[in-house]
A and B are shown apart, each in its own frame.
Chain A
Amino acid sequence: MKRRIRIGAGLLIAASSIAVAGAANDYRLDPKAVADGVYVFSGRNEHFTRDNGGNIVNTGFIVGTDAVIVIDTGPSLRYGEQQRKAIEGITRLPIRQVYLTHYHPDHYLGDAAYADASVAALPATISAIQTQGNALADNLYRLVGGWMAGTQSQPPTSQATPGTVVVGGRKLRLIAAAGHTASDLVVYDEASHTLFAGDLVFHDRAPTTPNADLLQWLDALDQIRQIDFKVLVPGHGAVVRDASAIEQTRDYLQWLSTNLHAAAEQGRDMVEVMNQPLPERFQRLAVIDEEYRRSVSHLYPAIELTTLPRR
């Protein structure tokens, strides 16, 4: 009976702490200017938790002459609403255009906060959101809980066309790439030389690969390396003013590909590959142990098949 009471009390405490978190659910979004008229909201270099509410992502906005452009809208409706409020604290200009870099839930589920703006993404991103969006949102509910209240997957309202566009008096270059997912949109602001690289670039945080094609991804890094940027906003990790984050991402992806192919060629079982020690230079990347094992899960099945001849 004593035991029963103790467990009951534990449940009560758990319930009340959930209620407190539910009342707050404040992402404390704080836009930082990274270039003239360009702002970034930096997320934590962590996994999804009930503590961070899914704010593990970088989003941003550009203040043009007569309107604002938003790049990615975060993991939840609440994030989108709080992001919008924070933008309105910087400028009174209307938010006319939202670009979603890709379909991963931490980057787009806040887009319902922008029902009055054009929300654009590449065609493959739109179709992925249409077919998988609800499952992705469900999964994020499980991972971060109450922060997701009211969030529903909302497909983009228009297609982003690669090339140069002028929005809100700002000249932007939209680049269609792929590799992190089947379609990754890169947004380059010509006036400030700021590159919003989406999840093609990670910085001091292990890259994620659930839908990755490593060779395409490496090609995409070559492509964006050619751009004459002064500021690079990675999808995750601190903003940089040089190519170091591109090189770090490339170094890891190249190692990952080489390592997985070598392991398969040696006949290693998947768990043995997961348990291999990582090179020292990658050990300082945030969440590397978990992400490396996830990547083995994602990528090894296809790679090992290339070493098993049909009999």
Chain B
Amino acid sequence: MSRAKAALLVCALLCASGVPAHAASTADKPVDPLNSPSWQYMRQRFLGAEPMVFDARVQVQMPSAAEDQMQVPVHVSAPGLTDVVDVLVFADLNPLPKILRYQPTSAAPDIGFRFKVEQSTPVRAAMRTRDGVWHVGGAWLRASGGGCTAPSVGTGQGLWQDRLGEMSARLWPQPQGRERLRLRMIHPMDTGLAAGIPVFHVDRIEMRAGDGRLLASLQTFEPVSENPVISVDLQHSGPVRIEAQDIQGNRFAATVTP
């Protein structure tokens, strides 16, 4: 393709993607503050026809550029937003956009984690409140390529095979009957996009009180980084039972005491 033709194509793509953003100034199609080319598709795919608003209280904090494409740290929170029952985190332009889903049954809607990014992309948190409305916030992340399609470090070294599912964790008591849980699990979290390495990741982590009551439940998808490190804030004091499983049905469990 000639350079002029390529320029025209780029131009045509830009113009085409610009149209829905402009047409979308009606109430049911709010304008995406991040001006993402695939916002409408993301909305349709993850939120469907459910009501949504862009809400600045929903914060996605992360460095503006990815230092390590395999381990981009993100902290999602929603100061001032109450009654959050469901948190969905996704990256519009990742080949596998869905990163995690968090249901803070008895916890703040805050979660820290790391993920693999393939290219510059918006990273979003959509939080559904009890009234059924999705509140969406996010930010752009700059990245130059390669996080999702590279093999995990452990897969290359074969280290994870002996320690699969091993958990390290600790609780930090907080004011007002809360506690922070930080958890690290050993798992390759392979995306299936690296040549010759099948998809293999943890897909569910549940946190329960000593009496079995569910405190929070987390679904993790392919982009969550190898050997996931998760931080959550539970509305709870005392020991926490962690139960996890991966997509091959391996089950892992541990109990953490403050």
Bound Cα distance A217, B62 (Å): 28
User: Main secondary structure on chain B at its contact with chain A?
Assistant: strand
- B11-A310 in contact (CB<8A): no
Q: What 0/1 pattern do residues 273 to 289 of A give for CB contact below 8 A with B?
A: 01100000000000000
Q: Which residues of B contact A266 (CB under 8 A)?
A: 172
Residues of A participating in the B interface, judged by any CB pair closer than 8 Å: 3-4, 7-8, 11, 15, 139, 142, 266-267, 269-272, 274-275, 293-294, 297-298, 301, 304-305, 307-311
What are the residues of chain A within 8 A of B180 when measuring CB–CB? 267
Is B256 engaged at the interface, CB distance under 8 Å to the other chain?
yes
Residues of B within 8 A of A271 (CB): 61-63, 73-75, 112
**Cα distance A282–B45 when bound, in Å?**
46
CA distance A272 to B229 in the complex (A): 14
Question: Which residue of A266, A270, A272, A297 has the most chain B CB atoms within 10 A of its CB atom?
Answer: A270
B24 within 8 A of A: no
11 examples of A-B residue contacts, CB within 8 angstroms:
A11-B10, A266-B172, A267-B182, A269-B73, A270-B75, A271-B74, A298-B67, A308-B183, A309-B168, A310-B168, A311-B256
Q: CB within 8 A of B144: which of A142, A275, A304?
A: A142
Q: C-beta contact mask, B152-170 vs A, less than 8 Å → 1, else 0?
A: 0000000000000011111
Interface residue B94 (Cβ < 8 Å from any Cβ of A): no
Q: Which of chain A's residues have a CB closer than 8 A to the CB of B11? A: 4, 7-8, 11
Which of B8, B14, B112, B166 is close to A269, meaning CB atoms less than 8 Å apart? Answer: B112
B7 cross-chain contacts in A, Cβ below 8 A: 8, 11
Docked complex Cα distance between A275 and B63 (Å): 9
Question: Once the chains bind, are A272 and B75 in contact (CB under 8 Å)?
Answer: yes
Question: Beyond the given A272-B112, A293-B67, A304-B229, could you list 15 further A-B residue pairs with CB under 8 A, ordered by the A residue number?
Answer: A3-B18, A7-B11, A11-B11, A267-B182, A269-B73, A269-B231, A270-B75, A270-B112, A272-B75, A294-B67, A297-B68, A305-B184, A308-B169, A311-B168, A311-B242
The chain A residue with its CB closest to the CB of B174 is A267
B71 is an interface residue with CB less than 8 A from chain A: yes
Q: Are A305 and B67 in contact (CB under 8 A)?
A: no
The chain B residue with its CB closest to the CB of A11 is B7
Q: Are A4 and B168 in contact, CB atoms less than 8 angstroms apart?
A: no
Does B15 sit at the interface, judged by CB under 8 A?
A: yes
Name A5's closest neighbour in chain B (CB-CB): B11
> Contact: B168 with A308, CB < 8 Å?
yes
Is the pair A297, B63 in contact by a Cβ cutoff of 8 Å?
Answer: yes
- Report whether B8 and A8 are in contact in the complex, using a CB–CB cutoff of 8 Å: yes
Is B199 on the interface with A (CB-CB < 8 A)?
no
Is B114 on the interface with A (CB-CB < 8 A)? Answer: yes
- Sort chain B's interface into a size bin: 35 or more
Identity of the chain A residue whose Cβ is nearest the Cβ of B76 in the assembled complex: A271
- Please pick, from A274, A293, A311, the residue contacting B167 in the complex, using a CB distance under 8 A: A311
A308 contacts B71, C-beta separation under 8 Å: no
**A267 in contact with B67 (CB, 8 Å):** no
Main secondary structure of the interface of A (DSSP, over half): helix
Q: Which of chain A's residues have a CB closer than 8 A to the CB of B112?
A: 269-272
Residue of A nearest to B66 (CB): A297
Contact with A along B53-94 (1 / 0, CB 8 A): 000000001110001100101110000000000000000000
Q: A267-B180, A271-B61, A301-B71 are contacts. A3–B169 as well, Cβ < 8 Å? A: no
B12 at the interface (CB under 8 A from A): yes
* Bound form: Cα–Cα A139–B182 in Å: 33
A275 to B11, CA, bound (A): 38
Known contacts being A7-B11, A266-B172, is A275 close to B61, with CB within 8 Å? yes
Closest 10 CB pairs of A and B: A269-B112, A267-B172, A311-B254, A271-B75, A270-B73, A308-B168, A269-B231, A297-B67, A7-B11, A267-B180
- Considering the complex, give the chain B residue whose CB is closest to the CB of A269: B112
What are the residues of chain B within 8 A of A294 when measuring CB–CB?
67
CA distance A4 to B67 in the complex (A): 34
For the complex formed, measure the closest distance between the CB of B152 and the CB atoms of chain A, giving whole angstroms.
Answer: 14
Q: Which residues of A contact B114 (CB under 8 A)?
A: 270
B74-A3 in contact (CB<8A): no
In this complex, the member of B7, B14, B73, B229 whose beta carbon has the largest number of chain A beta carbons within 10 angstroms is B73
Q: In whole angstroms, how far apart are the Cα atoms of A20 and B19 in the complex?
A: 34
Please state if B255 and A311 are interface contacts (CB–CB under 8 Å): yes
- Is there an interface contact between B63 and A293, defined as CB atoms closer than 8 Å? yes
Q: Chain A's nearest CB lies how many Å from the CB of B117? A: 13
- Tell me, rounded to whole Å, the shortest Cβ–Cβ distance linking A141 to chain B: 11
Decide if A4 touches B10 in the complex (CB within 8 Å): no
Q: Which residues of A contact B73 (CB under 8 A)?
A: 269-271, 274, 297
Q: Given the complex, which residues of B lie within 8 Å of A4, measured CB to CB?
A: 11-12, 15
- Quick one: which of B67, B166, B183 has the most chain A CB within 10 A? B67
